[in-house]
Structure 1
Amino acid sequence: MDVDCSLPVVAKRLAQAALSGESERAEAINQQLSPLWQLFTQYRGSLRVIAAAASIMGLTERDCLPRPIQPLPRSAINDIAQLVCELELN
């Protein structure tokens, strides 16, 4: 991935490529993030996955979601931590 690989930066690059018609670049970024999209599907949405990723990256506490939303189980956190490392997200 690119030098600056924070989630917001990568998401912005994906959106900019798509909006500017750079379909090959957008598809390349999308493919790099496909494991993340798979986790969104596996855990039925992006909110808890992104909250867990933010916690892993030290941006928030583990239990940062408002009630009644519960954090993902430890096994899911481990999956997300592995993905954060694999994608070199920081």
Structure 2
Amino acid sequence: MANMLGKSLQAGDAIFTRVSHTVYLAARGIVLGGNGLKGRQLAEAALRRIGASLLTENVVEAAEVLIVVTTVSSSVHGAWYEELVKNL
């Protein structure tokens, strides 16, 4: 059982790739659509494709934390980010 689980969690596994991409799309929907109705609808639509729409609330909570982290990071390191982008 542990061997099977280990194999399915590898980056090249098709199921792992599909699930992780779907969770990414759901989180992106919340970050860009907000944590209100629109963002939740976007996340649920993405998760529904793999039958995981019951996890919408969990993804919303994780995305809310991600939003706070990026906001703090932007306010702390904003000037450095601007210089980095100028040099690209």
In the superposition, the TM-score normalised over structure 2's length comes to: 0.37
Q: Which has the higher contact order (CA 8 A, sep 6+)?
A: 1
More helix, by proportion: 2
In the superposition, the TM-score normalised over structure 1's length comes to: 0.36
